[in-house]
Amino acid sequence: MTTQSNPEGSIFILPQAIKTLARNAALQSYGVISLAPANPAETVSRFFKKEADVGILVKTEEDGVSLELNLIIEYGLRIKSVADSVSESVKYRIEKIMGIPVKRVDVHVRGLRISNPD
């Protein structure tokens, strides 16, 4: 949980809220098809959970947050360009909307997929 204080009180931001924002930012980035489970346990837990928060790991620390994203991207695009774009987009949105400093965003490409076979 991330805490911010101001003269009126404290603001508590749960990792689930950060995951939701990061998920939306990643899926709206060019070349991203979907998020992928990070490990087999996450694949199994996906069937029992109502939320779709697979593929994102949030680590909160005193001076900010670190994120890990596991993506499936479009076949035929430059992987580094897509990963850099996603990283910058996620960092920008979290810092702008939530006001939390983002220390790092690690992007792991777990697969490639052809979205339109034509």
**β-sheet bridge partners, residue 60:** 65
Domain containing 47 — which CATH number? 3.30.70.1350
In a domain, 39, yes or no: yes
Is the pLDDT reported for residue 9 higher than 70? Answer: yes
Average pLDDT, the chain: 87
In a domain, 2, yes or no: no
pTM of the model: 0.83
Please, which pLDDT band fits residue 101 given cuts at 50, 70 and 90? very high
Please, which pLDDT band fits residue 52 given cuts at 50, 70 and 90? low
Burial of 56 (0-12, 13-18, 19+ CB in 10 A): buried
Alpha helices in the chain (DSSP H): 15-27, 40-45, 79-93
Beta strand 64-74 pairing with 56-61 = antiparallel
Angle between helices 79-93 and 15-27 (to 10 degrees): 140
Tokens 């009180």, residue located = 9
**β-sheet bridge partners, residue 40:** none
Domain that holds residue 58: 7-113
Q: What is the pLDDT of residues 76-94, one digit of tens each?
A: 999 999 999 999 999 999 9
SS3 53: coil
In a domain, 1, yes or no: no
Q: What is the pLDDT of residues 57-82, one digit of tens each?
A: 999 988 889 999 999 999 999 999 99
In a domain, 118, yes or no: no
Please, which pLDDT band fits residue 10 given cuts at 50, 70 and 90? confident
For the chain, what is the domain count? 1
Amino acid at 32: V
pLDDT of residue 11: 83
Q: What is the pLDDT of residues 25-48, one digit of tens each?
A: 999 999 999 998 877 766 666 656
Q: In this structure, what DSSP letter does residue 94 have?
A: I
